[in-house]
Structure 1
């Protein structure tokens, strides 16, 4: 009897530990941060040459490990030239683990810019609804295992899992971005209101996510009389993430030549995961240059370098797709004619 009580206490402790780990889950990070600009910083919303932009990015993380770690973000933003900003909509989905732990977020974004020929300072606000859920029927506990046969199909556990498996909450964020000459620097805060994401009765506040990014664009043909589309650029960047007790840094550079962009990065894992090297290739396919219409396709792959190495995980892969166009009815000039903008860095 004591053995059974001890086993139940152990299982209860395991459930509480699992719940604790889930409630402190960190937001995912994209290696191709430049191909999901609105996720990186809401101040980058509406900051592009055309009128309408659509971005989609998908990440499959550590594909050879048990369970599922898949992430997707889709955004659409509209450039409003009268105030140098725009309005946008972003949807993010995360699928983690064999228990189908899902996180969804739908947010609206508004941005505004001030400045002139020498600099552009942009501000962004984000607000939306988040949802997290878990399929408790996919969890397996010790009293569902036979010492000889393993998992018993159709068995149920005596563990008290509680009734709550789905939660909705309001979520908010804000960002700022400055482009001055060949420098760009920005920062953003997500989950500013610290929403309660707990599945149990006790509150569990979501930690804020802070992001800082810095880029420099070096013209490799400064004295050649060439259009920007014909030049070559070297673009080093640093991105810093911090959420709760976890932090990481992504540092590297891109070589941009006409419609091809190649990058090499190193990302420190911190407590969020293993450190890794990242190789990325981006291809811009102009459809109508005068109408700022283009299709962007990107691929990247992460190779872990720490104890959770490549042979254990098979690394992580990302694919991205972007489309940008100008609407036929648009006849309003941009608020900042001739000034460099954030899209010049990507």
Structure 2
């Protein structure tokens, strides 16, 4: 019984530390299937008119308390405005007390360039709601040294607040030149206060950079781009306060199938992981620039926590692009001939 009490006390200490300390944004292994979450400058940077992306991550399945994240986005390519507009929805749920964070943002990007390159700039602004359910926590006054958890005991450990709203902003830039795609973004520029205690607790800025290269294995063949074979190495680096992480990987893409493997460092927030991803373009209509994509990936811990302790992390994603009937082909891309970010994955 004494061991049970000590376990609950330790769990409470860890939980309260996570609530009062600064939060860190979740990261997706399939970053290329959630472009607006990665960088607001990628808004509207695709061949069709309308794009919808959905991605879900279930992290460390064996760890008590759910660690799940969902992001949905929709963006519209408007060549006459020089870029695109979009909406982004993100929700995360962590721990047995369901520490939930929900964000809804609007995005805008503007592009300049020529047939050789495209340089885009993006803006993001929205509202975030952060909540916690204290009723699912066990506090010290509810534990008896002999009996353990006291049935029916009331919770006297509530913090002053359990619901927090705040304004949030972000910016980004992206350059597609030749077979290179290079971008950077900064989130939480205003460093909003997300504390539940009434004391200041600013959310640190998140900085991420990403570089990809598309190696055409059929460069000498007169083939349509969708029929060619590519090798796509990429590097993504994240930094938020004292936490930093990088992901290094390579993908093999042939027609509608994309197989990738990458390594992501874990630093202080979790184990390093080896990631395997499979992406399928299930339906492609080249004439209408229409595409339906399905992706799945799995992270396996290779350092720190073992795979037996975490059971890894799994992601699933869906993406759809289409040309609206009213537009047809009367509104061609501004930079026809130049590679855009959508061609790199």
Match of 2:339 in 1: 340
Q: How many residues align?
A: 335
- List per-residue Cα deviations over 1:78-102 (Å, max 9, x = no partner): 0001244100000000000001100
Q: Which residue of 2 aligns with 1:152?
A: 150
For 2:68 and 2:283, locate their aligned partners in 1 and report how far apart those are by CA, in whole Å. 30
- The whole-number CA distance in structure 2 between the counterparts of 1:19 and 1:169 is 21
TM-score w.r.t. the length of structure 1 is 0.93
Encode CA deviations 1:151-172: one digit per residue, 9 max, x unaligned: 233212333x233100000000
Q: CA RMSD in A?
A: 1.7
Aligned partner of 2:27 in structure 1 is 29
Report the alpha carbon displacement of residue 20 of structure 1 after superposing the two structures with TM: 4.2
1:142 matches 2:130: no
Match of 2:203 among 201, 206, 220: 206
Cross-structure match for 1:269: 266
Distance 1:308 1:76, change over 3 A: same
**Structure 2 CA distance, aligned partners of 1:230 and 1:53?**
22
Deviation at 1:222, TM superposition (A): 1.1
Are 1:226 and 2:223 counterparts? yes
Q: Match for residue 62 of structure 1?
A: 60
- CA–CA distance in structure 1, aligned partners of residues 73 and 128 of structure 2: 15
How far apart, in 1, do the equivalents of 2:132 and 2:238 lie? 26
Q: Distance in 2 between matches of 1:202 and 1:272?
A: 24
Structure 1 residue aligned with 2:163: 166
Map of 1:281 onto structure 2: 278
Q: Is 1:190 aligned with 2:187? A: yes
5 Å-filtered alignment, 1:46-195, equals: 46-159=44-157, 161-195=158-192
TM normalised by structure 2 equals: 0.94
**Aligned residues of 1:234 and 1:255 also touching (Cα < 8 A):** yes
1:304 matches 2:298: no
Query: Does the alignment pair 1:323 with 2:317?
Result: no
> What are the Cα deviations for residues 170-211 of structure 1, in whole angstroms up to 9, with x where unaligned?
000000000110011100000000001011121111100000
2:290–2:321 contact (8 Å) kept in structure 1: yes
Whether 2:254 is the aligned partner of 1:257: answer yes
The C-alpha deviation readout for 1:70-126, integer Å capped at 9, x for no partner, is 000000000001244100000000000001100000000000100001110000000
Q: Larger deviation: 52-61 or 325-334?
A: 325-334
Measure how far apart 1:135 and its partner are.
0.4
Answer yes or no: is the 8 Å Cα contact 1:248–1:272 preserved in 2.
Answer: no
Q: Secondary structure at the match of 2:303?
A: coil
Q: Partners in 1 of 2:324 and 2:11 — Cα distance?
A: 56
Which consecutive residues of structure 2, in runs of 5 or more, have no partner in the other structure? 1-8
User: Any idea what SS the aligned residue of 1:305 has?
Assistant: strand
Deviation for aligned residue 1:16? 8.0
Residue range with higher mean Cα deviation, 139-148 or 324-333: 139-148
Distance in 2, Cα, partners of 1:56 & 1:322: 6
Corresponding residue number in structure 2 for 1:7: none
Counterpart CA distance in 2 for 1:158 and 1:260 is 55
